[in-house]
Structure 1
Amino acid sequence: MYRTRGLLFPLVLIAIGVIVLLVNTGMLSQVALQRLGDLWPLLLVILGLQLILNHTLPRQQAMLVGLGATVLIVIAAVLYATLAPAASLGTRQADVSERLGGLTAATLDMNYSGATMEVQAGTLGDMLYQAHVEYPSGENPPTFSLDHETGTLAIQESSGFSGFHLFGSSRRHVLITLTDRIPWTINVDGGAADLRLDLRHLQLSKLDIAGGASRIDAQLPAPKGTVALAVSGGASNMTLRAPAQTQWRVSVSGGASAISINGSTFGALGGDFQRQSPGYGSAANRFDIEISGGASHVDVRTG
């Protein structure tokens, strides 16, 4: 029994290493890897099967039968992941929208952790927003709620989230289009995996990103007044792009591995850092960018 236990863990490590190698060499796609992730409970099946065999068969026979069953299960899982139809069987979709009503300004609050979040602006007629959501079949979709008095549109984690769907966040995707007819404040919380903001046609009043994000890519509009951009909780990679001739100030606290501003790079910042464009002090329209909590790489570009 102890010898079997000693073999089982190294075999699992070998199997994981082979799978990662296949992904890195392009022989196994990212979609196939996600399908394998959905099959993680098979590890519990293998362990439980081995425990039963250890108590019902002689030790050597139990080891051989257990190893054979493990090999068959792994082969079947890889075949399923690679040969299943191209459509993601574990993903559901939903579309949500709401009318503008009499709102003259609005706030978007997003708290949907581990997701790819895309926000853009467009001409929607009398609609306030339109959203397309993709989410794992083991979960409920995020909830959309609009407070008509305050104009706050909240996108939140569904109460039906399943903690056992460990790899489902890789298929959480929200694409939301906001009307360009009114000013917006955007708040992002909860740690998005990938945040893509195409706000070039949006009337942006404020942008606040908290809770960290793996990747932030924001295309900004021309500012009207002083527009505050706050990022806290850390970010792995962040790119902010603004129109040419935009005036700006960048303040960093908590350190950063590297900051690049219009091609000038400042590396390994351990303390506070601040730079501003020559015309920032007298500009009526400008961006005030504050980054706190540490960041790996920040790239700010105008033009």
Structure 2
Amino acid sequence: MIGRRGVFWPLLLIVIGLVFLLANFGLIAPLSALALLSLWPLVLILAGIDIAFGQRWPLGVLALDVLIIAFGVALVASQPTIMTPLGPVAFFQRSAGPGVSSVLAPHGDATALTLHLNGGAGTFNVSGGGSDLVSATSDQQNLVLRTSGRSDRPDVRIDQSDQGPRFGGGVPTHVDVKIASDLPTSFDMNAGAGEFVVDLRDVKLTDARINVGAASLRIVLPKPTGDVSIVVSAGASNLVIEVPEGVEARVNASGALVSLHSDNPRISGSETSGYSSAKDRVTVRISAGASSVAIR
């Protein structure tokens, strides 16, 4: 037992030091000591394993401790968003600085855009027609914008800023996002529970991935160029897919308790009459919990 503990703590310090070194050289996403401190529940897990099995199988427990530490540090380093039946769970997403109520990325010489929007609970309105590359306003001081990639093909990320350590969810917010209409745009959105309107009719969309929790979600489809894919993952939700006049589209929905119905006279089954022969069309794939999906 003493030998095992003599190896454990130096090993833990080495792993943490390596993580910060990789972050300093930009090989993994930036993180903070606060992010590592958020792993405190692992201490309880490790202590419980030690009390229950440490004396009986010391080497096996040491190996298990190493795996648990590696898993926790990997979560901090990769900051993943994982889909669950109740919606997306985001781990350790840290802001690049203090939040503000308004952010924008200038258009510049951009010829294409990749946009990531990450938020918690609240109300989000996303639409095209922006004069800037992308802009966003909030009723709270909680927006952070980061831009990377080439100047002509920027990768823009808008996050709700970290409000510090807390239990449970944050305060619901209202966010409006405007996207330029003249650029091919790849769109990725991850949010919690709330009301979301994603109006893409004035966005030159190439593809989209929208992940929300228990939500009311309304998506207005874009006027496509080529075959445009929109993938939606949601918890127990009320989903509305609006198909504008002249847009050929198919909507596929899957889930244990998902009901799909259409109020649009152009829809036969789950697609418009001209979808199968159209070169420019939108394909929507929905995976949800107990949800109602309406096509309008």
TM-score range, shorter chain: 0.5 to 0.7
1:153 aligns with 2:156: yes
Going from structure 1 to structure 2, the CA distance change for 1:288 and 1:295 (only over 3 Å counts) comes to farther
SS of alignment partner, residue 278 of structure 2: coil
Matches of 1:263 and 1:181 in 2, distance apart?
28
1:173 alignment partner in structure 2: 174
Across the aligned residues of Structure 1 and Structure 2, the Cα RMSD in angstroms comes to 2.4
Secondary structure of the residue aligned to 2:109 is: coil
Q: After TM superposition, give the deviation of residue 226 of structure 1 in Å.
A: 1.0
Counterpart position of 2:286: 291
Gaps of 5+ in 2: 1-98
Give how far 1:132 is off.
Answer: 0.9
Aligned to 2:127: 120
Q: Equivalent residue of 1:151, what SS? A: strand
CA offset at residue 93 of structure 1?
Answer: 6.4
Partner SS state of residue 232, structure 1:
strand
Could you tell me how far 1:263 is from its partner in structure 2?
Answer: 5.1
Counterpart Cα distance in 1 of 2:236 and 2:230? 14
The correspondence of residues 45-194 of structure 1 with structure 2, limited to 5 A, is 94-124=101-131, 127-135=132-140, 141-149=142-150, 150-163=153-166, 168-170=170-172, 172-194=173-195
- The percentage of aligned residue pairs carrying the same residue is 29
Uncovered stretches (5+) of structure 1, i.e. residues with no partner: 1-91, 265-273
Q: Which structure 2 residues correspond to residues 196-207 of structure 1 after superposition, within 5 A?
A: 196-207=197-208
Q: Which residue identity does 2:197 align to in structure 1?
A: R
The aligned residue for residue 230 of structure 1 is: 231
Question: Do 1:117 and 1:192's aligned partners in 2 also have CA atoms closer than 8 Å?
Answer: no
1:288 Cα offset (Å): 0.6
List aligned pairs for 1:206-285, cutoff 5 A. 206-262=207-263, 275-285=270-280
Per the alignment, do residues 210 and 123 of structure 1 end up closer, same or farther by CA in structure 2, a change over 3 Å counting? closer
- Greater helix share, structure number: 1
Q: Deviation digits for residues 250-293 of structure 1, max 9, x if unmatched? A: 222223442122358xxxxxxxxx83333221111111111113
1:179 aligned partner, one-letter code: A
Deviation for aligned residue 1:199:
2.0
Supply the distance in 2 between the matched residues of 1:192 and 1:100 (Cα, whole angstroms): 31
Q: Does the residue aligned with 1:187 lie in a helix, a strand or coil?
A: strand
Q: Deviations over 1:55-101 (max 9, x none)?
A: xxxxxxxxxxxxxxxxxxxxxxxxxxxxxxxxxxxxx9622112112
Q: How does the TM-score come out when normalised to structure 2? A: 0.59
1:130-184 Cα deviation digits (max 9, x unpaired): 221122xxxx6132111142522112242334525x67532x1211111112121
User: In structure 1, what is the Cα distance between the partners aligned to 2:169 and 2:211?
Assistant: 23
Render the CA deviation track for 1:98-119: whole Å, top value 9, x for unaligned: 2112211112111111121111
> Deviation of residue 192 (structure 1)?
4.6
Distance of 1:116 and 1:123 partners within structure 2: 19
Moved over 6 A (4+): none
Q: Structure 2: how far apart are the matches of 1:226 and 1:213?
A: 29
Larger Rg: 1
8 Å CA contact 2:226–2:281 kept in 1: the answer is yes
What do residues 232-264 of structure 1 show as CA deviations (whole Å, max 9, x unaligned)?
143511111121242222222223442122358
